[in-house]
Structures are given as C-alpha cells and as structure tokens.
Amino acid sequence: MADKQYSFLAGVYDSLNSDFDYDAYAKYLDREIRDNEKIRSSLVLDLACGTGKITFALRDMGYDMTGVDLSEDMLSVARDICYESNISDILWLCQPMQEFELYGTVDACVCCLDSLNYLTRYGDLKKCFSLVHNYLIPDGVFVFDINTPYKFENVYGSNAYVLEDECSLVAWQNEYNKKTGICKFYLNIFVQNEDGSYDRFDEIQREKCYSVGRVKKALCDCGFEIIKVCGDLNGTALSDTDERCYITARCKK
C-alpha cells in the first residue's frame, strides 16, 4: 500500500463527508475567536485546512484567510473550488504543520477535525504549537480539537467501516496499538469511472492518541494560556466518553 496520506482520498473526501456540518463548526470557531480576542481579529490561519471547507466558511464570515496543508492533492481541490467560484483572496500554502512558515503574523489560528492527531511524535506536536505561538500576535487566539483516548480505544480500536456515496466507496480498517498510542487506518478507495468500472487506490494513515493533559502541557510549555477545554461545540464540559476534545488557548508574549 502507498503511504502517502490524503493523496487518493482527496478527490472523494468532501463527498464522503457531506453529512458533516461545517457551517456549525465555523460558527463555533467564529464565536470562540470573537469571545476571546483582545483586539478585532481579521487575519486567520487555517492549519491543516484540507480541501478548505472551514477556510471558505470563515472567509464568508469576513476573515482574511490563509490555508496551510501538507497534501498537494487536498489543496488542489481547494484551488479548483476557488477557480470555479472566482475566489482569489485566500492564500494556500503546501507545508507540514510542524514546519510551516508564514509571511507575517496572524490574529488567530484554527486547526480542525483531529488534524493534530496526525502528528505522531510529541516533539512534532510541540514544534507545531511553538510555530503557532510564533506567528500569532500577542493575545492571539488558537482554537483546535483532538480525538480523545476514548475514541481511539472504543471507536477506532480494531474496527472496520465502509463510507460510500454514489460514485465512490472507502473500506476502512483500523489497527490501534494502545502501547504506542498509534492507530493505523488502512483505506481501500474505489472510485467509479464513467463506464461503470471502478479504480482502486490504497492508503495508510496514522494518528497518535494524546491525553488531554499532555496536550495542555505542550501548550503551556510553548507559551499559551488555556482558556477553555470542552467536549462539544456548545461548550459542554469534557466527559470521559466524549470522542473529541475542543480547546481554546491564548498566545502570551
């Protein structure tokens, strides 16, 4: 299997996730930024932006957006959407989260949909946080989420899933190693051609399970003040059975 994450999956990612409410997530991000900013935020970085669903939604709310992602294929989808929609005011950068470079500072940063779990080394997680801190203005807001240990152990585990739409199907097999905290996702992607035949592509993806305490320590070590930790978009206190943890932090300089 090819070990290039989000290469073959990029073309069908949005259709397979069509049920996800990106608008609700963008409204949550906007609320967190507005409620916690010290000065009015306009420049926002969407880190690990993928095909740009959140980037576009925040742009529509009036933010000046920069999208950073490691996958050329995911960014290609985002650029195609820009071309089709005549959008020219978003800066797209193909860079890894733990090594990205910007042209200047931003007022806020978001990183969504467990993207940080793809940093499978704690050192890389801290490098990412350090760079976010470096490029945020003083008191700039950082909003992100991570998958919880509960999700790794009880939802991912060694379970298998099938995702499908009219023209594509993904067979998804998990392999979670509790000792290392690494979950491997073996993806078999089938894309339908115009003649009814299917092309098959294979990918391996990896995520790392981090405890909330370890993530909070990394944030504090990198100069952040933790504002909020919750278990959903409504700000409900995080429970032991929540699958995702939402964190809002402030850059202290």
Model confidence at 94: pLDDT above 60: yes
| CA distance linking residue 167 with residue 12, whole number of Å | 9
Share of the chain above pLDDT 70, in %: 94
pLDDT band at 2 (very low <50, low <70, confident <90, very high): very low
Q: May I ask the CATH class of domain 151-208?
A: mainly beta
The pLDDT assigned to 3 comes to: 39
- Pinpoint the residues of the chain covered by CATH 2.20.25.110: 151-208
70-74 mean pLDDT: 92
- Tell the residue number behind the tokens 């989808």, with chain if given: 77
The pLDDT assigned to 11 comes to: 67
| CA distance linking residue 163 with residue 18, whole number of Å | 11
* Mean per-residue pLDDT over the chain, rounded: 93
63-91 mean pLDDT: 95
76-84 mean pLDDT: 94
| CATH superfamily placement of domain 10-148+211-251 | Vaccinia Virus protein VP39 (3.40.50.150)
Strands 64-69 and 43-47, by their bridges, are: parallel
Alpha-carbon 34 to chain mean position? 20
- Transcribe 160-229 into DSSP letters: EEEEE-SSEEEEEEEEEETTTTEEEEEEEEEEE-TTS-EEEEEEEEEEE---HHHHHHHHHHTTEEEEEE
Model confidence at 109: pLDDT above 60: yes
Q: Show the DSSP H helices in 102-154 as ranges.
A: 122-135, 149-151
The pLDDT assigned to 167 comes to: 82
120-162 pLDDT, tens digit each? 999 999 999 999 999 999 999 999 999 999 999 999 999 998 8
- Pinpoint the residues of the chain covered by CATH 3.40.50.150: 10-148+211-251
